Structure 1
Amino acid sequence: MSNATTSTPSSIELLAKDLNENGGVFCPSPKAGMKLWDTHPRVFLDVAQTGSARCPYCGNAYHLRAGEVFRGH
């Protein structure tokens, strides 16, 4: 019997200012409502290159809001 809980992957809309200096985000993310202590290892997701990225662990999809452009920091 497992005590593990599963959650439905989320789609998280980002503004360009939400991306770090490399054009990405880390998952797990507070934006996704995830508690860092009970989720998966931290992974970098490059959102700037294509406008979206999906976490290989939890399936959350991160995408730039329509019209947002990342120009670097």
Structure 2
Amino acid sequence: MTTSIPSSPDSAVELLARELNENGGVFCPSPKAGMELWNTHPRVFLDVAHTGSVRCPYCGTQYRLKAGEQVRSGH
């Protein structure tokens, strides 16, 4: 995978368009966010396709499309 683990509040998990689910989003917590089991929260869907970037309301992890990535209309 080509994602990065956030190391500060300003960091983001970068996603490729193909890593989004069929609805154009991701779920948090995510293994890509580097969370330990003890440090998780309820699973929430985050829509990345429409805005290109979204922040989890529970933990603040930022998810964004990698620069140059485009989501096809099938998402």
Superposition TM-score, scaled by structure 1 size: 0.81
CA contact (8 A) 1:26 1:42 kept: yes
Does residue 63 of structure 2 align to residue 62 of structure 1?
A: yes
**Percent of residue pairs identical:** 78
Rg: which structure is higher? 1
Unaligned 5+ segments in structure 1 are 1-6
Runs of 4+ residues over 2 Å off in structure 1: 7-10, 35-38
Equivalent residue number for residue 16 of structure 2? 15
Equivalent residue number for residue 49 of structure 2? 48
C-alpha distance 20-37 of structure 1, shift in aligned 2 (>3 A): farther
- The count of aligned residue pairs is 67
Amino acid at match of 2:65: L
Cα distance in 2 between the residues matched to 1:31 and 1:19: 12
Cα distance in 2 between the residues matched to 1:25 and 1:34: 15
Superposition TM-score, scaled by structure 2 size: 0.79
Unaligned 5+ segments in structure 2 are 1-6
Task: Kindly report the root-mean-square deviation, in angstroms, between the aligned alpha carbons of the 2 structures.
Answer: 1.8
C-alpha distance 37-20 of structure 1, shift in aligned 2 (>3 A): farther
C-alpha distance 19-36 of structure 1, shift in aligned 2 (>3 A): farther
Amino acid at match of 1:23: G
Equivalent residue number for residue 4 of structure 2? none
